[in-house]
């Protein structure tokens, strides 16, 4: 696993400073041209403001899951998952407000209700990223 955590002075966009991006990386190096399997964001991004992450101390864990797991967790396929009643709810599993169609889920401020699930989903996402990487390189599982 490799974590990318951009800070001021890094060659990454300022909007990413203070956030964390997690990759399957057996060699410890962040892969090029690959999306992370999980992120932690600490602020609103353009077009992604409904969780109100600009409030002090707020942050959101985002995790990529497959379509079947998304549907099991949230009761609808990623492309048709309805909006939750309250995007600002904490310690609740929600579809990602922007990337749900790609199978992303989100938990703002994971806590006692969601921590165990979050850990399980992170393990699953890491394992799935490893399988995708092996398919790309033709390596055996």
For 72-100, what is each residue's pLDDT tens digit? 999 999 999 999 999 999 999 999 999 99
Name the 3-class secondary structure at 6.
coil
| pLDDT surpasses 90 at 141 | no
All domains in the chain, ordered by first residue = 2-137 (3.90.1150)
> In percent, how much of the chain has pLDDT > 90?
89
Q: CB of 25 within 8 A of CB of 1?
A: yes
Q: Of 39, 25, 114, 36, which Cα lies nearest the Cα of 74? A: 114
List pLDDT tens digits, range 101-137.
Answer: 999 999 999 999 999 999 999 999 999 999 998 888 7
Name the 3-class secondary structure at 33.
coil
Question: Residue 140: which pLDDT band, with cuts at 50, 70 and 90?
Answer: low
Q: CB of 131 within 8 A of CB of 141?
A: yes
Average pLDDT over residues 27-44: 94
Residue 134 and residue 141: Cα distance in Å, rounded?
Answer: 7
Q: What is the pLDDT of residue 118?
A: 99
Q: What is the pLDDT of residue 138?
A: 79
Name the 3-class secondary structure at 20.
strand
DSSP string, 52-117: -TTSTT--EEEEE--HHHHHHHHSS-GGGPPPPS-TT-SS-EEE-TTTGGGTEEEEES--TTTHHH
pTM, entire model: 0.94
Q: Supply 48's token pair.
A: 């992604």
What is the DSSP secondary structure assignment for residue 39, as one 8-state letter?
A: E
Q: What is the pLDDT of residue 13?
A: 96
Question: Residue 50: which pLDDT band, with cuts at 50, 70 and 90?
Answer: very high
């Amino acid at each position: 696993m490799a974590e990318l955590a951009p800070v001021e002075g890094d060659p990454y966009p300022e909007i990413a400073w203070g956030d964390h991006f997690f990759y399957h990386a057996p060699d410890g190096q962040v892969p090029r041209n690959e999306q992370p399997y999980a992120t932690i964001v600490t602020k609103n991004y353009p077009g992604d403001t409904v969780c109100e992450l600009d409030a002090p101390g707020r942050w959101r864990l985002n995790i990529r899951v497959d379509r079947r797991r998304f549907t099991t967790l949230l009761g609808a396929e990623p492309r048709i998952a309805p909006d939750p009643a309250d995007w600002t709810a904490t310690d609740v599993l929600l579809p990602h407000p922007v990337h749900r169609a790609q199978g992303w889920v989100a938990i703002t401020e994971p806590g006692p209700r969601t921590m165990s699930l979050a850990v399980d989903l992170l393990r699953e996402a890491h394992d799935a990223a490893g399988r995708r990487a092996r398919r790309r390189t033709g390596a055996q599982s």
